[in-house]
Homo-oligomer: A and B are copies of this chain.
Amino acid sequence: MSLLVVGSIAFDTIHTPHGSAQRVLGGSASYFSVVASHFTQPRLVGVVGHDFPQANIELFQDRGVDVRGLARVQGETFFWEGEYHRDMNTRTTKAINLGVFEHFQPVLPGEFKDSKLVFLANSAPETQSKVLDQVDRPELVVADTMDFWINHQREALARLLPRLDGLMLNDSEAMLLTGETNLVRAGHAVRKMGPKFVILKKGEHGAMLFSDEGVFVVPAFPTEAVVDPTGAGDSFAGGIMASLAADPERKSGRLRRAMAYGTVVASLTVEGFGLDRLRKTTRTEIDHRLEQYRQMMAF
């Protein structure tokens, strides 16, 4: 099934205790698309500036990403610079330049309007809603959000939530949104705000799914080779949505299997700077790690 992602494309400068990377390709839609390209041919909608090299566009194309929704406009590409602390779980933003992303109003090419699976990467809830208006008859719509929108555009977010099948957000954001201090209660409370299912991301501690099948918990795949955590959440989303797109049967437990795929690809992402590790991996390696992951939890 066709899979659409609308999100950011950025240059990231990343500092970690183990090394640095300068102006590498990043952004939610980049991570999502490269992950998804291992499962399907995702449709990408995003914006870049005049400084965005053709080589990066070819990188997407070579992986089968449909870039007809990629706008290249006058101005600078979104730039982010961040530094990870010693524990690799927290980070400080050192510089940010939204560039052409700041006033980006995504326009879907006509060929993308029939997309069946839609992922609205983190952006203003109103922008996410306007994207949704452009899709004819989506079968599964999932959005990501963050604390900034919960704090500053709560009403727009509240209007978006009932239009979603799924919402993904961090554990702390779910507590912020609902006022609950227990994660299980927070997850249930977010569902009551509209989305049919909710995925709480807990970083290195895994994730939780709340749906009409109950609560499902997944630990992170334990990797000791954490090089750069950037993009883990978007990779997780990409693995979920793309494995669903590649497995369209509406069976029970489908979302749970998708989350396992998301977990495994996220663990690959963090093993390299930027998109390095994701570009090197193969579907065979992903499936092999999925099997390891399954065995790791069996009892």
Contact = CB atoms under 8 A, between A and B. Distances in A.
A257 B299 contact: yes
A87 B224 contact: no
Interface string A208-232: 1000001111111111101000000
Contacts of A221: 217
Contacts of A205: 202, 205-206, 219
Copies in the complex: 2
Contact of A218 (B183, B208, B297): B297
B299 A259 contact: yes
Interface string A63-100: 00000000000000000000000111000000000000
Contact of A86 (B181, B185, B214, B220): B181
B182 A88 contact: yes
A143 interface: no
B214 A296 contact: yes
A183 B206 contact: no
Contact of A298 (B181, B224, B253, B296): B253
Contacts of A183: 204, 222
Interface residues of A, number: 37
A184 interface: yes
A216 B182 contact: no
A201 interface: no
Contacts of A289: none
B260 A181 contact: no
A256 B222 contact: no
A208 B296 CA distance: 10
A217 B184 contact: no
Contact of A184 (B184, B202, B223, B298): B223
A204 B188 CA distance: 17
A40 to B, nearest CB: 19
A88 B297 CA distance: 27
A294 interface: yes
A206 B206 CA distance: 10
Interface string A277-296: 00000000000000000101
Contact of A216 (B184, B214, B216, B296): B296
Contacts of A184: 222-224
Nearest to A207: B219
Contact of A256 (B217, B259, B298): B298
A219 to B, nearest CB: 4
List 7 tightest A-B contacts by C-beta distance, closest first: A184-B224, A205-B205, A217-B219, A256-B299, A257-B299, A260-B299, A185-B224
Given A182-B226, A217-B296, A218-B219, 9 more contacts: A88-B181, A182-B224, A183-B222, A205-B219, A215-B222, A216-B296, A217-B219, A257-B299, A294-B299
Interface of A: 17, 86-88, 181-185, 188, 202, 204-206, 208, 214-224, 226, 253, 256-257, 259-260, 294, 296-299
